[in-house]
Amino acid sequence: MTIPSPKQVFDDPTEHWAFLTQSSDDDFEGPYFDRKEAGRAGADTKNLEKQQLVEQAKYTEKSFPVRRLSEPTVEFREHHALPDVRYGITKYGTYDTDSHNIELIPVCLNSLRHQMEELINRLKVGKYKYRGAERTFATKFSYSTVVTVDHIEETQGEIERLLVEHSDWEDDGRLKRIFLVHTPEQGYLKDDHNSPYYVIKRSLLEKGVPCQMVDTPTLQNADWKDLNLALNIIAKCGVRPWVLPDAIPDADFFIGLSYTQSRDGQRIMGFANVFNSYGKWEFYSGNTSYFDFEERTLHLARLAEETLTKLQNQLSPTPQIVFHYSAKLSNADRDSILRAARNVRPGGTFTFVWVNSHHNVRFYDNRPETDGSLRRGSYVEAAKNKIYLSTTGYNPFRRALGTPKPLEVSAWVHRPEELPRAGLDLRVLAVQVLNLTKLNWASTDSFCGEPITLKYAGNIAYLTAAFLRQSEPFNLHPVLEKTPWFI
């Protein structure tokens, strides 16, 4: 069967009905189609753009208003605000204007010493649009020497020797120092938990020492990689590169909940990461070892209560707390977390937001000014508590690859009994999620496809799972709990 183009499907879905309803998904994994549903937006009826959905079982036409949000801006130095993150950070510089000094402790193979020196110089002075660390991040990088080893297997021992000689480097809450460690990827599988990358990273994190790993291609050629590398370093040392200019509505704090499963699927470990209403990273909280899957309700509730207890000094008597999660929680899970949250703040309003990316719904836009995908920031109201939000569709920052998948966002609001019941504001829900896609401090891309609460949760789960495959428990040092140690 010849795969039709998106435009052909837009213009005449019934002509391509055999393609849309075939039993195998194989042909939907190409550059245009992902699954077995297609849609269409663009017909202007009474100023509302209508969405036509082609359903899998039979052809029916359903119309939904497509609402659009403007692209959120983020704030840089001297309160300059732009939607384009890369342009803003290189033109205006980081949000934090205080001067910072960070000592780099570079460690690499002896054969790559010169490349490490060149990389550090590049981080200092920049190239192309990156204007160097001091101009861009108000941060001065320094180092005394490049520590070298003859074999990669000796790196861990050399780092331990340095920490013994400099005991003040551990548990240093000033975050003025970071290890810059070359960890080659050749010869190791990406998820090999015994590779130098994971072994060295875990060791330093448990000792309270920030670290940034560098792969061989970056050492050999830092072109177009230096800006993101410098960004990772300063973020791990407590510098805020950008924030939202205004508070996100109807929320005081966002808590991203996640868990990772052991390879046998019988045990899990829960995590929480916290952001305030301006998108500022607050801290990470999590279990230190696996627990039985059947006990997840109890442990997730305990994790939520411990997280809110850490926030207690920043909470009003009636805070608005939003929990984000990507793995669907049962009613029992939500009820247990809610009871735990009310133990900390009985008068709080607690919202549970499930962000689901594993669904079959697709939307298209056949207006000539787009690339066929539903523009980023567009959303469709599917139910009283559910929207489909396009976060990776047509936008001025980067081209979409394939058919962008909207986020299915469902929310449940729990207010104190003494407050009158009120409906969920779906526009506010869309604004919250879209704003949180602008806060990925791991990259100068203008957005990520999911809210940062869940992206960071996924990063934490991935790394922690690797550490726990080495041995249990994994104990992140408290000094690093308020830093994005996992980017």
- Residue 227 has phi, psi (to 5 degrees) of -65, -50
Q: Which residues contact 169 (CB under 8 A, 6 or more apart)?
A: 105, 162, 163, 177, 209
Total domains, the chain: 3
Q: Residue 80 region, left (φ>0) first, then alpha (ψ -120 to 50), else beta?
A: beta
Same-domain status, 279 and 312 = yes
pLDDT at 102: 94
Same-domain status, 258 and 196 = no
What distance in Å separates the CA atoms of residue 51 and residue 55, rounded to the nearest whole number?
A: 12
Query: Closest by alpha carbon to 164, among 207, 212, 103?
Result: 207
pLDDT at 292: 75
Render each residue's pLDDT in the chain as its tens digit; 487 residues. Answer: 566 665 566 566 667 666 655 544 444 433 334 333 333 344 343 343 333 333 333 344 455 788 999 999 999 998 999 999 999 999 999 998 888 999 999 999 999 999 999 999 999 988 888 898 999 999 999 999 999 999 999 999 999 999 999 999 988 888 899 999 999 888 777 778 888 999 999 999 999 999 999 999 999 888 888 999 999 999 999 899 999 999 999 999 999 988 776 666 556 667 889 999 988 888 888 766 667 777 888 888 999 999 999 998 999 999 999 999 988 888 999 999 999 999 999 999 999 999 998 888 888 777 777 777 888 999 999 999 999 999 988 888 877 656 678 999 999 999 998 888 778 999 999 999 999 999 999 898 888 889 999 999 888 888 888 888 888 788 889 899 888 888 8
In a domain, 349, yes or no: yes
Distances (CA, A) of 388 to 44, 192, 346, 456: 20, 37, 32, 22
Exposed, middle or buried, 321 (CB in 10 Å: 0-12/13-18/19+)? buried
Alpha-carbon Rg for the chain in angstroms: 24
Exposed, middle or buried, 6 (CB in 10 Å: 0-12/13-18/19+)? buried
Same-domain status, 280 and 344 = yes
Same-domain status, 21 and 46 = yes
Place of tokens 């990156």: 130
Are the C-beta atoms of 163 and 170 separated by less than 8 Å? yes
What distance in Å separates the CA atoms of residue 128 and residue 444, rounded to the nearest whole number?
A: 15
Query: Closest by alpha carbon to 305, among 364, 374, 354, 257?
Result: 257
Q: Residue 47 region, left (φ>0) first, then alpha (ψ -120 to 50), else beta?
A: left
Same-domain status, 199 and 150 = yes
Residues forming a β-bridge with 52: 40
Same-domain status, 105 and 212 = yes
Same-domain status, 106 and 42 = no
Task: Single out the residue in 52, 68, 84 at which a domain terminates.
Answer: 68
Range of the domain at 266: 253-361+406-470
In a domain, 379, yes or no: no
In a domain, 91, yes or no: no
Task: Single out the residue in 239, 266, 300 at which a domain terminates.
Answer: 239
Same-domain status, 108 and 194 = yes
What distance in Å separates the CA atoms of residue 459 and residue 236, rounded to the nearest whole number?
A: 14
Q: In residues, how long is the chain?
A: 487
Same-domain status, 129 and 187 = yes
Q: Is the dihedral of CA 332, 458, 449, 188 positive or negative?
A: negative
In a domain, 485, yes or no: no
What distance in Å separates the CA atoms of residue 237 and residue 176, rounded to the nearest whole number?
A: 7
Query: Could you tell me the pTM of the whole model?
Result: 0.83
In a domain, 1, yes or no: no
pLDDT at 89: 92
What distance in Å separates the CA atoms of residue 240 and residue 441, rounded to the nearest whole number?
A: 8
Amino acid at 135: R
What distance in Å separates the CA atoms of residue 114 and residue 127, rounded to the nearest whole number?
A: 18
What distance in Å separates the CA atoms of residue 475 and residue 471, rounded to the nearest whole number?
A: 11
CA geometry: angle at 244 spanning 238 and 248, to 5°?
A: 120
Same-domain status, 112 and 225 = yes
In a domain, 16, yes or no: yes
Residue 154: CATH number of its domain: 3.40.50.2300
Same-domain status, 295 and 425 = yes
Cβ neighbours of 442 (radius 10 Å): 17
In a domain, 366, yes or no: no
Residue 433: CATH number of its domain: 3.30.420.10
Same-domain status, 346 and 264 = yes
Cβ neighbours of 245 (radius 10 Å): 17
In a domain, 381, yes or no: no
